[in-house]
Chains A and B, each alone.
Chain A
Amino acid sequence: MSNKVVVLMRKAPYGSVYTAEAFRSIMGIAVFELDISVLFVDDGVYALVKGQNPAKLEMKPLGEAFPMLADVQVQELYVHDESLAERGLRPEDLVMEVKVVSSTQVAQILEGADKVLPF
């Protein structure tokens, strides 16, 4: 069975546990035979912003963790262009190079997935 999994990041990195759990789940399942890509939309794009300093929230900065995904063979990271623009962000503001995709492409990525894990 083809197992293309898209992890959908929809939420801001702090304020709730979803982004951290999504990251943890990617690290946890990437060692198995799954073809994983990660798609950042809505407030999910904040997860990749450079220079996060959540020390006062007693949280670890999540942004710096995402480049580590390459080490577990998760290479495909997509960021929705309108979600970035709506938040005054540019691709240069992100911790790593990602593929910036349109709404149409977001739909295609989701349509092409066998499974979607929404967080």
Chain B
Amino acid sequence: MKIAVMILEGPYQHQAADSAYHFIRAALARGHEIVGIFLFADGVHNANQFINPPGERNIARRFDEFGKQGIEVTACTACAKYRGMMPNIKVEHVRLSGLGSLADYLQKAERFVTFGD
């Protein structure tokens, strides 16, 4: 099944990004296709390449890894601007794009799953 995911919360403060990560891994393991991951609102912080939690899971690296595997991971451009997330701050395999990407994922996916508060 084609699945798209939206994340509305940032890293560590909230479970959303972690739950999304585990959901995506489980879906991939079951043979589903992830057509896109959209980082919206504070969700864009999950793409900060300077995230460096001593001895703990690195949430940004996890989403970078998904991007590296060929899954389109998009952080909302406007949300990034609001939060000072400059293009040079984000991890390499997450792209910045607008709500057109969200619309694209809504159109392509058979299921759309949101992780937020």
Contact = CB atoms under 8 A, between A and B. Distances in A.
Interface stretch (B18-26, B47-55, B109-117): B109-117
Given A1-B107, A3-B107, A117 B100 contact: no
Interface residues of A, number: 20
B27 interface: no
Contact of A29 (B103, B110, B117): B103
A32 B114 contact: no
Contact of B41 (A17, A31, A34): A17
Given A3-B107, A34-B107, A28 B102 contact: yes
**Nearest 7 interchain pairs by C-beta:** A28-B99, A32-B103, A29-B103, A115-B112, A21-B41, A118-B114, A115-B106
Interface of B: 6, 8, 40-42, 78-79, 98-100, 102-104, 106-107, 109-112, 114, 116-117
